[in-house]
């Protein structure tokens, strides 16, 4: 199946979309990668979902990526003796380590790391920011706060700390168990939640040990501040706008989204824009005009993928939501302003052989109006470098490794085909031409450009360009 768009669609699976027949409909509607949210899935359900996705993959004959999204540290209040409490701006409430049920003057906070880290002047946002507290006095065992805004507090509400750097890693005990189970089940991507610092990726990378790729969710101000360092250690990024919009002013999020997408593209690493993209389609068959513009903006920015959360996981119209996102993306990419916007955001190639080859391949393909760029890639690195260039012509990524094809399903514009390694240069050209025709990217008389590493099969050593005429016995090369 050949997609009519370059940006990829990541669809979250949930109660509305967990059956195999529905998963197939989601793929046919446009989903390229499926996300399993480990906040809501136990290991048995995760394995069942993976089995169903792989069955759909075999049925449609296309590699499908699977992303397991780890829950991360969930910070929550304790309980109240008499249920929800009403507060007033200006009043004082204390959060402490006393396990007794709370009231309107104090509440148990079962997180000693917060009690020890929050300083006077720091903000505490409760229930996705509906209640804002400001610390005025701390002693390591309690935090005396004044109510800044909001009027209600109740059991087990979430706590966000936009001003506080917590001395805890991104992986909890639950995450470690989920990570082991997800890797054993063969997922392609692992998403880390609430990353604050580059060190948060080190433990996960040691556990993963090459069995999957890591995606860092940028949803805290601390992560934005250290984006360049996190970029060095991660394989991909997600602009997690929901939590970003809680911990930072909502009006700052669009600019941060642009900052992250452009930084990721410059680094040649996939970037996903997520949260509330078609939120109204949880309960309505059509999106709002503002949501359509939001999706379109992410596509114009050159994001590798756009994501659906509750829309496809728990909404009343999961297939329609994917189909709507697909139509929006395809229409944007056909807009006459799209190429100029994408080109304006292009960064100069890094001073490496693979980057120079990928840059040259795009320039040649667009100048000569070739049918496709065909990249031979074992690890996926060459495919990502080709995607970084955002060429006008299609990218066909040929790999002998199914796991690589699945991982590249998240990367912009890559049409992945699992194929045996070529035996020599002539076989490489013949194989590339044949697959370009079979996958409906080229016909007799068309031409493609091929990038590969010589000697063949050498990972990360892209050093060759070759132009091939489809159907011709002779090929010219550059």
- Split at pLDDT 50, 70, 90, the class of 198 is very high
State the catalytic residue, choosing from 25, 74, 76, 262.
76
**Could you confirm whether 35 is annotated as catalytic?**
yes
Range 191-211 average pLDDT: 95
pLDDT digits (tens, 9 = 90+) for 251-304: 999 999 999 999 999 999 999 999 999 999 999 999 999 999 999 999 999 999
Q: What number of other Cβ atoms are within 10 A of residue 304's Cβ?
A: 28
Q: Which of 377, 378, 70 is nearest to 386 (CA)?
A: 377
DSSP states of 124-155? EEETTTTEEEEEEEE-SSEEEEEEEE--EE-T
Q: How many residues does the chain have?
A: 478
Q: Which of 138-142, 171-175, 256-260, 351-355 has the lowest mean pLDDT?
A: 351-355
Q: What is the pLDDT of residue 28?
A: 98
User: Beta strand pairing status for 152-153 and 85-86?
Assistant: antiparallel
State the catalytic residue, choosing from 5, 62, 217, 390.
217
Domains contained in the chain, CATH given: 8-72+170-341 (3.20.20.60), 85-160 (2.40.33.10), 353-469 (3.40.1380.20)
Q: Which residues pair with 132 in a beta bridge?
A: 125, 149
**CA separation for the pair 36, 457 (Å, rounded):** 33
Contact yes or no for 354/385 (Cβ under 8 A): yes
**Could you confirm whether 172 is annotated as catalytic?**
no
Q: What is the pLDDT of residue 137?
A: 97
Contact yes or no for 49/40 (Cβ under 8 A): no
333: left (phi over 0), alpha (psi -120 to 50) or beta: alpha
Cα dist from 35 to 96, 190, 387, whole Å = 37, 10, 22
Across the chain, what does the average pLDDT equal? 94
**Could you confirm whether 76 is annotated as catalytic?**
yes
State the catalytic residue, choosing from 5, 24, 35, 388.
35
Q: What is the pLDDT of residue 474?
A: 39
Range 423-432 average pLDDT: 92
- The separation between CA 306 and the C-alpha centre of its own chain, rounded to angstroms, equals 8
**CA separation for the pair 256, 301 (Å, rounded):** 12
381-388 vs 353-367: helix crossing angle, rounded to 10 = 50
- Split at pLDDT 50, 70, 90, the class of 475 is very low
Q: Is the dihedral of CA 202, 204, 209, 210 positive or negative?
A: negative
**CA separation for the pair 476, 478 (Å, rounded):** 7
Question: What is the percentage of the chain residues whose pLDDT exceeds 90?
Answer: 90
State the catalytic residue, choosing from 275, 324, 404, 475.
275
Q: Is the pLDDT of residue 240 over 90?
A: yes
**Could you confirm whether 334 is annotated as catalytic?**
no
Range 417-421 average pLDDT: 93
**CA separation for the pair 81, 85 (Å, rounded):** 10
The rounded radius of gyration (Å) of the Cα atoms in the chain is 24
- Split at pLDDT 50, 70, 90, the class of 473 is very low
Q: What predicted TM-score, i.e. pTM, was given to this entire model?
A: 0.93
Q: What number of other Cβ atoms are within 10 A of residue 82's Cβ?
A: 9
Q: What is the pLDDT of residue 422?
A: 87
Q: What is the pLDDT of residue 478?
A: 38
Q: Residues with Cβ < 8 Å from 465, sequence gap 6 or more?
A: 357, 360, 361, 364, 449, 450, 451, 477, 478
């Amino acid at each position: 199946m050949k997609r009519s768009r370059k940006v990829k669609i990541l669809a979250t699976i949930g109660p509305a979309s967990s059956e195999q027949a529905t998963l197939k409909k989601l793929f046919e509607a446009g989903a390229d990668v499926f996300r399993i949210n480990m906040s809501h899935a136990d290991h048995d359900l995760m394995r069942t979902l993976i089995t169903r996705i792989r069955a759909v993959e075999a049925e449609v004959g296309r590699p499908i990526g699977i992303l397991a999204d780890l829950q991360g540290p969930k910070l929550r209040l304790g309980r109240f003796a008499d249920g929800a409490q009403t507060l007033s701006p200006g009043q004082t409430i204390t959060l402490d380590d006393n396990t007794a049920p709370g009231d309107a003057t104090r509440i148990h906070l079962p997180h000693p790391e917060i009690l020890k880290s929050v300083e006077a002047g720091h903000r505490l946002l409760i229930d996705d920011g509906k209640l804002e507290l400001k610390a005025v006095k701390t002693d390591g065992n309690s935090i005396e706060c004044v109510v800044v805004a909001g009027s209600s507090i109740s059991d087990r509400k979430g706590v966000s700390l936009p001003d506080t750097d917590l001395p805890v890693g991104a992986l909890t005990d639950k995450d470690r168990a989920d990570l082991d189970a997800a890797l054993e089940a063969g997922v392609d991507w692992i998403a880390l939640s609430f990353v604050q610092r580059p060190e948060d990726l080190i433990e996960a990378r040691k556990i993963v040990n090459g069995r999957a790729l890591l995606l860092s969710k940028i949803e805290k101000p601390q992560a934005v501040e250290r984006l360049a360092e996190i970029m060095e250690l991660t394989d991909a990024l997600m602009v997690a706008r929901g939590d970003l919009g809680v911990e930072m002013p909502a009006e700052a999020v669009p600019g941060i989204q642009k900052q992250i997408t452009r930084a990721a593209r410059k680094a040649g690493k996939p970037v996903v824009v997520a949260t509330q993209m078609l939120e109204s389609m949880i309960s309505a068959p059509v999106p709002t005009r503002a949501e359509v513009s939001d999706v379109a903006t992410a596509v114009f920015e050159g994001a590798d993928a756009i994501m659906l959360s509750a829309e496809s996981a728990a909404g009343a119209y999961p297939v329609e939501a994917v189909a709507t996102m697909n139509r929006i993306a395809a229409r944007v990419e056909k807009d006459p302003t799209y190429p100029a916007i994408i080109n304006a955001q292009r960064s100069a190639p890094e001073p490496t052989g693979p980057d120079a080859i990928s840059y040259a391949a795009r320039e040649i393909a667009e100048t000569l109006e070739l049918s496709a760029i065909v990249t031979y890639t074992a690890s996926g690195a060459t495919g990502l470098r080709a995607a970084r260039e955002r060429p006008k012509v299609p990218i066909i990524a040929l790999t002998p490794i199914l796991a690589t094809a699945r991982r590249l399903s998240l990367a912009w514009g890559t049409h992945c085909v699992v194929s045996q390694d070529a035996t020599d240069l002539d076989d490489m050209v013949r194989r590339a031409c044949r697959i370009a025709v079979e996958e409906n990217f080229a016909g007799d008389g068309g031409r493609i450009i091929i990038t590969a590493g010589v000697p063949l099969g050498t990972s990360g050593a892209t050093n060759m360009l070759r132009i091939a005429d489809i159907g011709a016995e002779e090929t010219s090369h550059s």
